[in-house]
A and B are shown apart, each in its own frame.
Chain A
Amino acid sequence: MHKKPTYKPFGNASILIEWQAIISEEILNDIILFKEKIQKEKSIVIADFIIGYNSLTLKYTNELSNYSDEIESLKSIYKQDFKLQKTEKFLWEIPVCYDLEFGIDLKEISEKSNLTIKEIIKLHSEKIYTVFFIGFLPGFLYLGGLDSKIHFDRKPNPRLKVAKGALAIGGKQTGVYPEASAGGWNIIGRTPIHFFNIKNENPCFAKAGDKIKFKPISLEEFYQTEKEIAENNYIISKTLRND
């Protein structure tokens, strides 16, 4: 069982709440539950929440004059036992084309790991990943659950431009670049799905605690899906999960 969180002032208007420094879903669930409780009690004074693997940062709307009182109040909220409305968690199915045209680092990973490209794709697409939080870029999901056989170090020199939608492996993590950017992760495919769209009321469809599964598609299917998305005719497949 995880230890209780600890509290630290972070500048003059934020509080950092930290759990044990491990990546675990149990901790993630505790962070999300605590966040929901705080949101219910303090939504007026908190401007922003930032979730990390083992942390929750509260950004207050105003300077905090008395940190110890605020921390005491948070501690008592943590202990509260009231039943929260269950937040709906979804499993999102993301189509990914692992064709070598997009998966530009697949060959190198295959050579260095003694796995065939087929095996790499199978290992990557069979797993169900957990969304821990969103950071780095708007809509960049930090996913947990990558098979240890395909853990693969970041490139020594980051590429200046990684394409939007690039699916990548960086060490023990995997994720999708939501926009074209510089990046040091190994590229293994591409998805036509937009992970961040400011036109939507909720710009990123997924949230911390949701699950992601990647579904391999062919090049033809990639371009077909890309077209459907551009024409607003594509709905990402999702299943409600409450486990």
Chain B
Amino acid sequence: MIRVLKAGFYTSIQDRGRVGFAQNGVPVSGVMDSYPADVANSILNNSLEDALLEITFGGCRLEFLIETIICVSGGDFSATINNKPIQLNSRIKINKKDVLSFGKINFGARCYLAVKDGFLTKKVLGSRSFYQNITNQIIIKKGDVLPITTFKGCLETSNSAIKIKETHFKSEEIYCYKGPEFELLKDHQKEQLLENTFTISNDNNRMGIRLNELIKNDIPSILTSAVLPGTVQLTPSGKLIVLMRDCQVTGGYPRVLQLTGNGY
């Protein structure tokens, strides 16, 4: 068990998400950044399906009530155990009453805490990912006790850490495919879309990210059709919305780009 001493800005339990329920209007959900999540689970020899704690911008403090091993991967929020700095992407032995805290943000927006055998909150529709009206909880609160199992196995001592692709966190380029409505754009709009640099607005969450820069357009709305995590929609006002893991399953704005990844 883990007791939440401080919940932080936005902390939730996520796994690979809900598959097979799109026809009921159920979003995929799941980890926003699957690369560090997979790294963290792999380092602990967990299944890649195991649930992790997704911590947005740090700020959270957790007390372990049992022995286990953990791995923290993703954004660097100066993680410490009992106020001693820990290394990201490595196995860390945890004793009863150890306190994991996050401090200053060095890079990244989200980090992942994996524990041996994963977080064991209830599976709903095949997934432990928090989502409104599907799971009881949407975010972790102070005082929550999160279910994990005891692990007393010995830690093969090794201070080595896995080499992580830093470009994953620092690159300003994102690979993409043409979206279903890309060809409806005029040449100068395509160029704008692919040559310009866009910035993330304050209006961003697990559902979607609005970008600041506009692309003037007169493409009409489409008949409501599928959208996926990673779909980039162009709204009538010219705003671009990049849909993320909690996005709805259908939408009516033209889908101009599709980022890599299929949502699971």
Contact = CB atoms under 8 A, between A and B. Distances in A.
A50 B224 CA distance: 11
Given A11-B261, A12-B260, A139 B25 contact: yes
Contacts of B19: 47-48
A48 B25 contact: no
Interface stretch (B60-68, B94-102, B111-119, B225-233): B225-233
Contact of B180 (A16, A47, A48, A63): A16
Contacts of A54: 223, 225
B22 A48 contact: yes
Which secondary structure dominates chain B's binding surface?
loop
Nearest to A57: B226
A63 B264 CA distance: 11
Interface stretch (A102-110, A130-138, A219-227): A130-138
B24 A11 contact: no
A203 B26 contact: yes
A182 to B, nearest CB: 12
Given A21-B223, A51-B23, A135-B251, 14 more contacts: A10-B226, A11-B231, A14-B228, A14-B262, A16-B225, A21-B222, A48-B21, A59-B262, A59-B263, A133-B224, A134-B25, A138-B25, A139-B25, A179-B132
Nearest to B183: A8
B261 A135 contact: no
Interface of B: 19-27, 124-125, 132-134, 177, 179-180, 222-226, 228, 230-231, 248-251, 255, 258-264
Contacts of B179: 10
A28 B118 CA distance: 42
Contacts of A23: 223
Which secondary structure dominates chain A's binding surface?
loop
A50 B230 CA distance: 16
Given A10-B180, A137-B25, A198 B262 contact: no
Nearest to B257: A11
Contacts of A50: 22-23, 225-226, 249-250
Contacts of B222: 21
Contacts of B125: 198, 203
Interface in A195-211: 196, 198, 202-204, 207-208
